[in-house]
């Protein structure tokens, strides 16, 4: 029994279906997302195997060959993503720095020194408003009544310390 006997009577449409399936799966490797190219590629490969292989052994041989081809393509793509030209298109190289004007959601240092008004009683934690922004704050330990002017003295991560003005 010849391992590659399925190649003897292969038609052009079967070759096109298999190649299109491989191409769609490679496209899915380059642009992972919703899986439409990958799903269509798998459907085309299964259809190509069903149309081409006449015995289960031939189908198994075709599956192994396709897995080897797709594994090699994935290895090339992963290598390229790590060090090659693909890394320049898929990997973000720009940094969002403070000097460029970007502020992270956890970076509240720019509030130090601002004055605002308490929205709730601080015992020692509560809410206050600074320039229209509502923040969860803590006092330096003392009780601060509602509607009292406060000033931010310290920011440590999400912890904002205030004292009465």
At 152 the pLDDT is 93
For the chain (165 residues), the mean pLDDT of every run of 10, in chain order, is: 72 91 88 83 93 88 92 85 64 66 66 93 93 90 92 88 92
Judge whether 39 and 25 are in contact, CB under 8 Å.
Answer: no
At 136 the pLDDT is 92
Question: How are the residues of the chain apportioned to helix, strand and coil, as percentages rounded to the nearest 5?
Answer: 50, 20, 30
Helix (H, G, I), strand (E, B) or coil at 157: coil
At 4 the pLDDT is 72
User: What is 106-164's CATH number?
Assistant: 2.40.50.140
């Amino acid at each position: 029994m010849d391992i590659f006997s399925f190649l003897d009577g292969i038609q052009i449409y079967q070759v096109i279906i298999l190649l299109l399936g491989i191409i769609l799966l490679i496209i899915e490797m380059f642009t992972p997302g919703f899986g439409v190219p990958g799903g269509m590629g798998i459907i085309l490969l299964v259809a190509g195997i069903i149309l081409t292989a006449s015995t289960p052994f031939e189908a198994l041989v075709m599956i192994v060959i396709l897995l080897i081809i797709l594994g090699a393509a994935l290895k090339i793509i992963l290598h390229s993503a790590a060090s090659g030209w693909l890394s320049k298109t898929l990997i973000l190289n720009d940094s969002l720095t403070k000097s460029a004007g970007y502020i992270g959601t956890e970076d509240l240092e720019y509030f130090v020194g601002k004055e605002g008004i308490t929205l709730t009683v601080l015992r020692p934690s509560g809410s206050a408003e600074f320039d229209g922004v509502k923040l969860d704050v803590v006092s330096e330990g003392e009780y601060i009544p509602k509607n009292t002017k406060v000033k931010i003295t310290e920011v440590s991560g999400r912890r904002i310390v205030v004292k009465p003005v």
